[in-house]
Amino acid sequence: MTNCQVADFYPIQKLVAVNNKQIAIAAIGVKMVYQTGREIFHALKDINLNIHRGDIQLLMGPSGSGKTTLLSIFAGILTPSGGRVNLLGEEITKMSDKQLSRFRLENIGFIFQSFNLFPALTALENVQLALKIKGIRGKIAKEQALSLLSQVGLADKTNLLPRNLSGGQKQRVAIARALTGSPQLIMADEPTAALDSRSGQKAIELLRRLAKEEGSTVLIVTHDPRIMDVADRVVHLEDGMLVK
């Protein structure tokens, strides 16, 4: 693991190589201002960051420093108040809502801090639904869903509803769901926070394998020292700014 080098902060226009590595995720002067009534809060102030393809990149920082906000902007879930975001060579901050939804569906797997599972669907159905949205149906979808659930150690829980799963098991269903369709970009907000040490290790190994064998770019918000061990790079946010 290395801390950010100067090259990481150079803005880019298109998918370009820095140090011979392609840039998968780039933030160029990203700002986020939240307004609640008359209160204005600058949650992100001029963020410039390049993340390399195939890297496991960690985003760390104290509570309230802006980690979830930045991750949500990278995933196209939140629109920044200023600046640009470039994913896989495409400027998502210029896309229409429709273009952005399609881009997200095809390229991004997002693991939320809260799991966001459908309560009326079983673990298997939650993963199958994600596949269906991506155009994969029937027997193939069922096989892929079962395979993903077994990779996160839930082979014996596929027919349970979320309310009958523990927090860590729900988190693992959410991880399996995010990995449907083998997205090139995986973004995870505290993916191991609810996991015991064995399932945490399994989830980390899965994310590591996706980055190193499939070339996925994995951006993780975490405080987990075990993830630090497998990370390629780490950046720190403090009061909405990147610090070295």
Ligand X SMILES: Nc1ncnc2c1ncn2[C@@H]1O[C@H](COP(=O)(O)OP(=O)(O)OP(=O)(O)O)[C@@H](O)[C@H]1O
Q: Which residues bind ligand X (CB under 6 A)?
A: 34, 36, 41, 43, 61, 63-69
36 binds, among Mg ion, ligand X, none (CB under 5 to 8 A by kind): ligand X
Cβ neighbours around 2 below 10 Å, total? 9
Copy the structure tokens of residue 51: 């993340």
List the one residue from 68, 86, 107, 171 that touches Mg ion (CB under 5 A): 68
Cβ neighbours around 214 below 10 Å, total? 13
* Sequence-separated (6 or more) residues with CB below 8 Å from residue 25: 49, 50, 51, 57, 74, 85, 86, 87, 185, 217, 219
CB of residue 149 to ligand X, shortest distance in Å: 27
Interstrand relation of 56-60 and 233-238 (parallel, antiparallel or unpaired): parallel
| 92 alpha-carbon distance from chain centroid | 16
Q: How many residues bind Mg ion (CB under 5 A)?
A: 1
- Report the residue number, 60 or 211, with the smaller CB distance to Mg ion: 60
CB of residue 193 to ligand X, shortest distance in Å: 10
- Report the residue number, 68 or 151, with the smaller CB distance to Mg ion: 68
Q: Is 158 in the site for Mg ion (CB under 5 A)?
A: no
SS3 of the chain: helix, strand, coil, percent, to 5: 35, 30, 35
CB of residue 33 to ligand X, shortest distance in Å: 9
Closest CA to 158 of 180, 139, 143: 143
65 binds, among Mg ion, ligand X, none (CB under 5 to 8 A by kind): ligand X
- Report the residue number, 63 or 96, with the smaller CB distance to ligand X: 63
CB of residue 65 to Mg ion, shortest distance in Å: 9
* Residue number, nearest CB to Mg ion: 68
Number of helices (H), then strands (E), belonging to the chain: the values are: 7, 12
64 binds, among Mg ion, ligand X, none (CB under 5 to 8 A by kind): ligand X
Answer yes or no: are the C-beta atoms of 118 and 129 closer than 8 Å: yes
- Report the residue number, 46 or 90, with the smaller CB distance to ligand X: 46
Copy the structure tokens of residue 107: 């390229």
How far apart (Å, rounded) are the C-alpha atoms in residues 230 and 172?
19
Strand partners, 52: 23
CB of residue 68 to Mg ion, shortest distance in Å: 3
CB of residue 113 to Mg ion, shortest distance in Å: 5
- Report the residue number, 66 or 76, with the smaller CB distance to Mg ion: 66
- Report the residue number, 199 or 222, with the smaller CB distance to ligand X: 222
How far apart (Å, rounded) are the C-alpha atoms in residues 145 and 100?
25
215 binds, among ligand X, Mg ion, none (CB under 5 to 8 A by kind): none
Q: What residues make contact with Mg ion under the rule CB under 5 A? A: 68
